[in-house]
């Protein structure tokens, strides 16, 4: 379930459009590249205001329905500022970020509360998933990337074994505002949880500014609030893993979040045989199922549980998500088989 590329408008030239899509195709961890804001009259009392930017390696689209388009634009601008601020704290692509500093030096003191909150939540999901969710898989991710870049082949069993010695959330030592690694060479990635946390914080900011009807979509991590206006819920399409132009399902939500993890977006190799979702206990890509979509009350939980359920596999993943109150799931095993939880909200 990914955000479709924005249509070109009079305000966005073809060159700008291609530059942005090119950055995405290279996996660039860009922050804060804005796209034009659009506002149209939705009904007699509401404007529909849309604002997008490139960030967190994807297109982020924000939609609000509000009586004042000016107030909506200002509120959305502040929400995007918050997204950019939090991204700069947690990105692993910049050595100057807090996570970059932690990975480089092995310790982090007087860390911002937001960083510590996500790290603590990561450890909680690690515990309740019995290790299936593990942010310390970063050395394995790096190993696969470097191996395919250098040799167009997966890493050797010996290299994998040596790297696995640096994987394990038991090596994270945390206090109130600091974290350190108990073993040299440990690194973390918040890719499976931070995006959900960040867009949830942005939605909180919109609510605080009296935006009662809003949607934020960050490359398939989606949070909504208050319906579309006019008493209608939001309709959210679940992308067909085999056809980007189709949806396999459409769900309706007034408030809440949906996140999807799948094997069809990010690969280490050109042949698309080795995807990026790693088994922490083996150091290999998880057995391939098409996708897992999670509905939850907040985007961070949806993000983390989608990653976890995918890594667990369809049967264990389904049993895992059933233990969470207010959480529903859609697991697409292959073209012929999918598993829906009993409360999955279809349109």
Domain count, the chain: 3
Residue 177 shares a structural domain with residue 200: no
Of 326, 324, 329, 300, the C-alpha closest to 313 is 329
| CA end-to-end distance (rounded Å), the chain | 16
141 half-sphere exposure, CB direction, 13 A CA radius: 19
Would you place residue 9 in the very low, low, confident or very high pLDDT band (cuts 50, 70, 90)? very low
pLDDT of residue 178: 96
CA 200 to chain centre: 11
Residue 66 shares a structural domain with residue 202: yes
pLDDT of residue 11: 37
pLDDT of residue 5: 33
Query: Could you report the per-residue pLDDT of 240-263, keeping only the tens digit for each?
Result: 988 888 999 999 999 999 999 987
Give the domain extent around 330. 233-347
pLDDT of residue 30: 41
Residue 322 shares a structural domain with residue 247: yes
3-state secondary structure of 316: helix
Residue 41 shares a structural domain with residue 110: no
pLDDT of residue 229: 80
For the segment 218-243, the average pLDDT, to the nearest whole number, is 91
Residue 317, pLDDT above cutoff 80: yes
- The percent of residues in the chain predicted with pLDDT above 70, rounded, is 85
Cα separation, 36 vs 9, in Å, equals 8
Residue 244 shares a structural domain with residue 336: yes
Q: Is residue 306 part of a domain?
A: yes
Which residue is listed with tokens 């395919």? Answer: 148
Residue 18, pLDDT above cutoff 50: no
Residue 165 shares a structural domain with residue 118: yes
Q: Is residue 335 part of a domain?
A: yes
Query: Could you report the per-residue pLDDT of 169-224, keeping only the tens digit for each?
Result: 999 999 999 999 999 999 999 999 999 999 999 999 999 999 999 999 998 899 99
Cα separation, 178 vs 194, in Å, equals 18
The CATH number given to whatever domain includes residue 120 is 1.10.3980.10
């Amino acid at each position: 379930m990914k955000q479709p590329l924005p249509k070109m408008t009079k305000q966005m030239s073809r060159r700008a459009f291609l530059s942005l899509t090119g950055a995405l195709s290279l996996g660039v961890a860009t922050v804060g590249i804005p796209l034009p804001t659009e506002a149209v009259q939705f009904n007699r009392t509401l404007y529909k205001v849309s604002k997008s930017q490139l960030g967190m390696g994807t297109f982020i689209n924000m939609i609000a329905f509000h009586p004042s388009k000016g107030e909506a634009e200002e509120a959305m601008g502040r929400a995007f500022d918050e997204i950019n601020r939090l991204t700069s704290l947690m990105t692993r692509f910049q050595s100057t970020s807090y996570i970059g500093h932690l990975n480089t030096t092995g310790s982090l003191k007087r860390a911002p509360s937001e960083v510590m909150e996500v790290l603590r939540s990561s450890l909680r999901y690690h515990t309740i998933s019995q290790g299936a969710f593990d942010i310390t898989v970063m050395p394995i991710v790096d190993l696969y990337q470097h191996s395919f870049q250098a040799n167009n082949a997966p890493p050797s069993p010996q290299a994998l074994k040596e790297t696995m010695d640096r994987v394990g959330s038991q090596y994270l030592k945390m206090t109130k505002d600091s974290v350190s690694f108990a073993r040299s060479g440990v690194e973390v990635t918040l890719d499976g949880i931070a995006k959900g946390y960040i867009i949830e914080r942005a939605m909180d900011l919109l609510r605080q500014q009296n935006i009662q009807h809003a949607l934020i979509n960050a490359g398939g991590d989606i949070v909504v609030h208050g319906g579309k206006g006019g008493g209608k819920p939001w309709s959210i399409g679940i992308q067909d893993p085999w056809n980007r132009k189709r949806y396999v399902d459409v769900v309706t939500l007034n408030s809440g979040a949906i996140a999807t993890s799948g094997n069809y977006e990010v690969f280490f190799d050109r042949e698309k045989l080795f995807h990026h979702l790693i088994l922490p206990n083996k150091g290999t890509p998880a057995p391939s199922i098409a996708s897992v979509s999670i509905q939850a009350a907040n985007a961070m939980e949806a993000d983390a549980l989608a990653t976890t359920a995918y890594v667990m596999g369809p049967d264990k993943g389904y049993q895992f998500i059933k233990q969470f109150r207010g959480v529903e799931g859609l697991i697409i095993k292959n073209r012929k088989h999918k598993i829906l939880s009993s409360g999955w909200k279809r349109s």
